[in-house]
Chain A
Amino acid sequence: MVSEAHGAMSPLLEAVGISKRFGGLRALSGVSLRLASGSITGLIGPNGAGKTTFFNVLTGIYKPDEGTLQFAGQPLPAGQPHAVAACGIARTFQNIRLFANMSVLENVMVGRHVRTRAGVLGALFRTAATRREEEAITARALELLDYVGIGAQAARVASTLSYGDQRRLEIARALATDPRLLALDEPAAGMNATERARLGELIRRIREDGTAVLLIEHDVKWVMQLCDRVLVLDYGECIAEGTPQAVQSDPKVIEAYLGMGGA
């Protein structure tokens, strides 16, 4: 499925034969994926196709039953979300999961945790190094809030933000971990056309600044415009992979979507 030109480069992420069962239900069977640095990849498919399950396996929330994940040439720790984040994969959630009662700024500051080191002793004695680090965390967090366009909201409580801004905040929080791959689970859900367009711009900018993006989305048209490559899942299996044009004309894809009564 993977074109030669693509395969020649060593990929940023390579998933081979990922399977995941829940009881008797096969949520994923043998899904493989290669993803290049600096790309935007779309993961589409009907409801229940296993897209979010794939994200959860990728980010260490579930352990795969079979298959391997390589990230930047290293095996990705399975089932350890914190270690996956440390490797450079950050994510957002389909049903937004912010630290709802913390401030917008604090949410992003938590994202810096994995790239900073001050421990208990530093905190207790408030050493110069700790103070400097804390200032750097704050500065970087503010910068990221501006980057996603909600800098003015820094002091508000996260749960009081509008829906679209909450999605942006999740992206800022994820970016704070300095990811090389940003995994977005339905980032445009519930947004209108204008908001979607602006989100598309943000995602392109993130890619230009050096972070690859993997995103789940239902709006096929939007995905096709945005992504370099698209992977289609159906019933936990990968039924097509390639450029948006190639995928769009793939009869299996058309059938999967029509079979579901359109998506």
Chain B
Amino acid sequence: MDTFLQQLVNGLTLGSIYALVALGYTMVYGIMELINFAHGEVVMVGALVALTVIQLLSGWGWPVPLAVLLGVLAAMFVCMVLGLVIERVAYRPLRRAPKLAPLITAIGLSIVLQQVAALIWGRGYLSFPAVLPPVSLAWGGVIITAIQGVIVVLAGLIMAGLLILVQKTALGRAMRATAQNPAVAQLMGVDTDRIIALTFVMGSALAAVAGVMVVAYYNVGNYTMGFMLGLKAFTAAVLGGIGNLPGAMLGGLLLGVVEALGAGYIGDLTGNFFGSNYKDVFAFMVLIGVLVFHPNGLLGTRAREKV
């Protein structure tokens, strides 16, 4: 039972991060029906930028909380600019092109981002300085570390803020209108180009935060870290129903839990034939399962193709 609860806590932490990244996929998809393949790379860039800033500032003897805060802000800034550039360079010129074209530019961009990151930060692993005191809350046999607590709470706050933004503000209304029907939204005076760019920027800001959370949680970062994370977050978005914001959150949390429990129990379940090194397989199994049996996801409704 303790293992179960412990894995549940770990899963929720991981799931909060997936959810933040999944939101980026789902927002872009909702508004332009495009899978932004480069999104995982944005997370990676955010993580590495934050790492660098934090290492630098704490090296100068700045107080750790301030260094972390500035690191996160720097990561968000870089990622927002990156998101804007990605949209401008790789997607906007191809809005009317066949579907295959933006997919291919996205793959190309994600390779470019990885390689540029490898040039800047090298191929090794960068370690995250201990920013939070290694305090933890032991509750029965379950241990909740401070960093886990911070990740879950912060992710929850950000997601709540995002929902309020989309549901209650004029900007949110314009975004929803653009997602429904860009042509009509434009006629109604919505600057859809701006809305699309903003969507990328917001998704990228979330990605930056998620990136910092990942390195803070695992204590290391690397230029390849965005790939699997992106794949899993995409899975989470599909699981929840792509294009649906609460869906992405739910999907992220669920996937995190499934993965943690799976990794915890797969050895027992298969008589140690499969070990926890297969944990990356779960996300994929979930993805195929959802796509086959319930392609609209848990909360999603997808518009059918016009005939």
Contact = CB atoms under 8 A, between A and B. Distances in A.
Asked if the two chains touch in their complex, CB atoms less than 8 Å apart, one says yes
Interface of A: 22-23, 52, 56, 61, 93
Contacts of A52: 307
A129 B307 CA distance: 37
Query: Which 5 pairs, one residue from A and one from B, show the smallest C-beta to C-beta distance?
Result: A56-B307, A61-B307, A93-B307, A52-B307, A23-B301
A52 B304 CA distance: 15
Interface in B275-307: 301, 304, 307
A115 B17 CA distance: 53
Contacts of A61: 307
A61 B301 CA distance: 18
6 contacts: A22-B304, A23-B301, A52-B307, A56-B307, A61-B307, A93-B307
A217 B76 CA distance: 56
Nearest to B301: A23
Interface residues of B, number: 3
Contacts of B304: 22
A194 B307 CA distance: 28
Interface in B79-117: none
A80 to B, nearest CB: 15
A61 B306 CA distance: 11
B301 to A, nearest CB: 7
B250 to A, nearest CB: 21
Nearest to A185: B307
Contacts of B301: 23
B190 to A, nearest CB: 23
Nearest to A59: B307
Nearest to B305: A61
A236 B301 CA distance: 23
Contacts of B307: 52, 56, 61, 93
A82 to B, nearest CB: 15
A25 to B, nearest CB: 12
A61 B304 CA distance: 11
A242 B19 CA distance: 58
Nearest to A56: B307
Nearest to B306: A95
A56 B304 CA distance: 12
A61 B307 CA distance: 8
A52 B307 CA distance: 8
A42 to B, nearest CB: 20
A185 to B, nearest CB: 9
A61 B305 CA distance: 10
Nearest to A61: B307
A10 B252 CA distance: 56
Contacts of A22: 304
B69 to A, nearest CB: 45
A22 B307 CA distance: 14
A115 to B, nearest CB: 24
A183 to B, nearest CB: 13
A155 B150 CA distance: 67
A56 B301 CA distance: 20
Contacts of A93: 307
